[in-house]
Copies of this chain bind each other. A is one copy, B any other.
């Protein structure tokens, strides 16, 4: 049974590629989707489609509408959501995607480093599982197929 996994979270390193490769190595029947990971493209997509905006505020609103469209399409097709929080940045999109997934009853795994335990405690408590590494998340996915 193929499952679709939405990979929410930071786009500043290659953790998605790592998950995809490890799932392939374990021959898990998983298809992965996620947000636009080119940061500039993600920030500029509003103006790329709608044209020059009057200021950064409007540029951001235009970009976010298209990013939200993409996320909504792909998350609705997903069976599982994994949300990774990194050491840096505010990462409110990650919190938003994880919270939305939980509210929509999507089974959800959070990956976060140890030093984020406290600020993420309520969100972790609502997610199904919270782990610290990509390898642990793969183990949880793998467990579905045992």
The yes or no answer to A29 lying at the interface (CB within 8 A) is no
Assess whether A49 is in contact with B139, with CB atoms less than 8 Å apart: yes
Q: Take A49-B131, A60-B117, A69-B109 as given contacts and tell me if A33 and B92 are in contact as well, using a CB distance cutoff of 8 Å.
A: no
Inter-chain contact B144/A73, CB cutoff 8 Å: yes
Q: How far is the CB of A104 from chain B (nearest CB, A)?
A: 6
- Decide: A124 near B58, CB < 8 A? Known: A95-B92, A99-B103, A144-B70: no
Residues facing B in A11-33 (CB within 8 A) are 31, 33
State the main secondary structure of chain A at its contact with B: helix
Q: So how many copies of this chain end up in the complex?
A: 8
The CA-CA distance from A119 to B96 in the complex, in Å, is 12
Given A77-B79, A109-B69, check contact A36 B96 (CB 8 Å). Answer: no
Contact indicator B79/A76 (Cβ below 8 Å): yes
Interface residues of A (CB under 8 A from B): 1, 3-4, 31, 33, 36, 38, 41, 45, 48-50, 54-58, 60-61, 63-74, 76-77, 79-80, 89-93, 95-100, 102-105, 107, 109, 116-126, 128-129, 131, 136, 139-140, 143-144, 146
20 contacts between A and B (CB under 8 A): A1-B4, A3-B77, A36-B143, A36-B146, A49-B131, A57-B117, A60-B117, A61-B124, A64-B121, A64-B122, A69-B109, A69-B128, A72-B107, A74-B144, A76-B107, A77-B79, A92-B95, A92-B119, A93-B122, A103-B103
